[in-house]
Amino acid sequence: MAARPELDLALVVGSHGRHVMIETPEGRRLLAHPRGKKSQCVVGDRVRWQIAGDEGVIEAIEPRRNLLMRQDEWRHKSFAANIDQLLVVLAGEPMFSESQLTRALIATEDAGIPATLLLNKVDVPQAAAARERLRPYAAMGYALHETALKTRPDEARATLAPLLAGRATLVLGASGMGKSTLINLVVPSAQAETQEVSQALNSGKHTTTTTRWYWLDDSASGLDGRGAILDSPGFQEFGLMHLTPQRLAELMPDLRQHLGACRFYNCTHRHEPGCGVRDAAERGEISANRYRLYAGLWDELEAGQRKG
């Protein structure tokens, strides 16, 4: 869709199927659908639209700053566009999946989106093991914060306030990590807003299948400059089939810093002699688990390329 600056601007705040919920700079929300057969809009898109009866018609999508997506063998799923940061909620009970975390961080590196890690449930004994597993990620430069969303809500709000202020933050978290608790803590009206948007989109029981946009405050008017939380859908796996295996190392900060030390320019960092990445792994500068994840992802993406 080409840009149409002469049309009114709106923000996509919810979607289901071909219908989306848009919000105007004045705060009005209404149902809309893209012109054409296939919807290309995602939550966070700025769109140009016009009225058609009691609904809106989206005529164009403004250029995106970024787009976070995942893709498996069967389909791709776009989470959101034009976001300022990703906040990954993790916990030790149940223990978070390092594979899922690594995949999400690779996708954010590819999209050029900063990521922050939030270790929840630090009031339980398993937090120590989770903290240890996250040590390599803090060493890579990812900001790591700790909280107990349920048992220390006031402290949690104080921790989250400066992280979220003035930014559009997409929250990711597997089941049991505390993502829903976080959303309800910082946006008390979230449940009601979700029901309202779902009813308008006629999505019924599918309320968790799409990203939702929630404003955090009224500190600024219009569609920009205000803090916002984007609640992402739950998922069991984070596919990276939209990437080639050759790009993996440059999207993993701990591997990336050793790429210049390889003997061969097309090194896969798996079996070649004189590999700076493998040497760093042997010296313990790259954790053994991270290197195993890299090798497994390479095999997965290489197999996907052959099928494609």
Determine the distance from the C-alpha atom of residue 273 to the mean position of all C-alpha atoms in its chain, rounded to a whole number: 36
Structure confidence at residue 62 (pLDDT): 95
Per the CB < 8 A criterion, the answer to whether 289 and 282 are in contact is no
- Of the chain, the end-to-end C-alpha distance in Å amounts to 27
Residue 92 burial by Cβ neighbours in a 10 Å radius (0-12, 13-18, 19+): buried
Residue 173 annotated as lining a ligand binding site: yes
Comparing 1 with 207, which gets the higher pLDDT? 1
Calculate what percentage of the chain has a pLDDT beyond 90: 74
Structure confidence at residue 13 (pLDDT): 94
Start-end of H helices in the chain: 98-111, 127-133, 135-139, 153-164, 179-186, 190-201, 253-256, 276-282, 288-307
CA distance 60 to 77: 20
Q: Which residues pair with 146 in a beta bridge?
A: 119
Residue 180 annotated as lining a ligand binding site: yes
CA distance 291 to 272: 15
Residue 52 annotated as lining a ligand binding site: no
Residue 269 annotated as lining a ligand binding site: yes
**Record: fold of 67-231:** Rossmann fold (3.40.50)
Residue 2 annotated as lining a ligand binding site: no
Residue 174 annotated as lining a ligand binding site: yes
What is the DSSP track for 52-78?
A: ETTEEEEEEEPPPS-EEEEE-SS-EEE
- pTM: predicted TM-score of the whole model, two decimal places: 0.90
Residue 307 annotated as lining a ligand binding site: no
Rg of the Cα trace of the chain? Answer: 21
Lowest mean pLDDT among 16-30, 97-111, 120-134: 16-30
CATH of span 8-61: 2.40.50.140
Q: Which residues pair with 73 in a beta bridge?
A: none
Structure confidence at residue 207 (pLDDT): 43
Q: Which two tokens stand for residue 179?
A: 């993502």
Residue 76 annotated as lining a ligand binding site: no
pLDDT digits (tens, 9 = 90+) for 263-294: 999 999 999 999 999 999 999 999 999 999 99
Mean pLDDT of the chain: 89
Structure confidence at residue 237 (pLDDT): 72
Residue 112 annotated as lining a ligand binding site: no
pLDDT digits (tens, 9 = 90+) for 149-205: 999 999 999 999 999 999 999 999 999 999 999 999 999 888 756 666 666 666 544
Q: Which residues, including other chains, have CB under 8 Å from residue 83's CB and lie 6 or more apart?
A: 44, 66, 68, 113, 168, 169, 170, 230
CATH 1.10.40.50 assigned to 245-307: yes
Residue 267 annotated as lining a ligand binding site: yes
Residue 37 annotated as lining a ligand binding site: no
Sorted by where each begins, the domain ranges of the chain are 8-61, 67-231, 245-307
Residue 41 annotated as lining a ligand binding site: no
Residue 178 annotated as lining a ligand binding site: yes
